[in-house]
Amino acid sequence: MTLQQEIKVAVDAVVFGYESKGNLSVLLIKRGVEPYKNTWALPGGLVLENEALETAVKRELKEETGVTIDYLEQLYTFGKPKRDPRNRVISVSYFGLVRPNHFKIKADTDADEAQWFSVNDLPKLAFDHNTIFQTAEKRLKSKLLYQPIGFDLLSKEFPFSDLEHLYTTILGQDIDRRNFRKKIMSFGFVEATDKIQQVGSGRPAKLFKFNKQKYDALLDDGFYFDIKFV
């Protein structure tokens, strides 16, 4: 049997943004070329002939948005035959979580604009990018239940309420705060400091810090938080 293939490989990036006490957002670009010209989409594009997938997704993200991220986690491969009207394209998707204010976004190449959108108010996206986004959001939420992530999104020293807010924002539900605090503290990678923070006229809050060394020591065993919701 003679095998004929004209399949192209692309990469797409779902970059979530989170600010302390803020909302969860995602980085989108407005396409400047057909198909789907003037439609919002995830940053991404075709992989070059001799280019690694990881190199390609970082290049496309940098070219289209100006954002550079050291770590993007591979999410899923999307390959339905008609997902791209031009030709057969298989997309390997990635996702990451960053602080938007750490980057100055700037659209370039085939992107006319780059912008952060609240995950609760997304426009209709080009191709099957809404499905890719939904898959990434689901993965991010499930990941919080077995592996703590996002400590680099908090200040070096933070009130425990900031960590609670991070979880409630991403999970989209109110958590049982007492159970959550007990569970987190039992692992030993969040430590109390001798400092307090005074915000307005409210009660002073003790500050905590993340112990990455203890976290890395536990990482191989995995985590399961069994978070209880209100």
CA dihedral 140, 131, 122, 62 (to 10 degrees): 70
Query: CA 121 → CA 31, 73, 99, distances in Å?
Result: 19, 24, 19
Q: How far apart are CA 57 and CA 46, in angstroms?
A: 9
What 3-state DSSP class applies to 54?
helix
Which residue in 19, 113, 157, 164 is the catalytic one? 113
* Structure tokens, 161: 């309420």
Element (H, E) at 11: strand 8-18
- Expressed in angstroms, the distance from the first to the final Cα of the chain is 60
| Per-position DSSP letters for 120-138, written without gaps between them | TSPPPPSTTHHHHHHHHHH
In this structure, the strands spanning 190-197 and 205-210 are antiparallel
Whether residue 157 lies in the annotated active site: no
Q: How many CB atoms lie within 10 A of CB 162?
A: 18
Burial of 31 (0-12, 13-18, 19+ CB in 10 A): buried
Return the biggest CA–CA distance within the chain: 77
The residues that are catalytic are: 113
